[in-house]
Amino acid sequence: MSNTLERRMLLRGAGVVGVSAVGVAAVPETASAHGDEHGRHLLGAWMIRHTDDPPSSDSGLAIVSFAAGGVFAAEELPDGTLGLGTWAVDSDGFDVLFFEAQPAPNGEPGVVVKIRVHGHVHGDHISGTYRLTVRSAADDSVVARGTGTFRGERLRV
């Protein structure tokens, strides 16, 4: 597989359209929102649009959720690919680290996508950057890398 494949083609073939919506800075070893004034502004669900940087032109829609205790979940729409991980706030915004994994449709081992996010919250709006690494589940070799941006808004009942 070539590293120049577009991410959507690569990941869709593996059943993983990345919720590359949220990623860049390192995440502390233990991510926790307990007692953090800024963290409470993230709690809840957000609808985000993410766009890969060139040479890819991939974009997508996802629902991401920040739960107390540093739990993070993301679901890509419309295919339902699920990502799980952790989040924490820092003096410059928030950081997320999450993973998506899917077998290839032909029974091959598939891929694991690691996504790092760095973002900011402004009222009911969220934005930031992400960096992703796609690895073969068979031998852990890097299949592709990418970066991108995201923006979104809080979901309310």
Q: Where are the domains of the chain?
A: 7-154
Residue 139 has pLDDT above 60, yes or no: yes
In contact, 11 and 104? CB cutoff 8 Å: no
Residue 1 has pLDDT above 90, yes or no: no
Q: What is the pTM of this model?
A: 0.76
Q: How confident is the model at residue 99 (pLDDT cuts 50, 70, 90)?
A: very high
Quote the CATH superfamily of domain 7-154. Answer: Quinohemoprotein amine dehydrogenase alpha subunit, domain 2 (2.40.128.120)
Q: How confident is the model at residue 38 (pLDDT cuts 50, 70, 90)?
A: low
Q: How confident is the model at residue 37 (pLDDT cuts 50, 70, 90)?
A: low
Q: How confident is the model at residue 150 (pLDDT cuts 50, 70, 90)?
A: very high
In contact, 14 and 1? CB cutoff 8 Å: no
CA distances from 69 to 33, 86, 147, 155 (A): 5, 9, 27, 20
In contact, 103 and 109? CB cutoff 8 Å: yes
C-alpha–C-alpha distance, residues 153 and 127, integer Å = 9
Average pLDDT over residues 71-99: 95
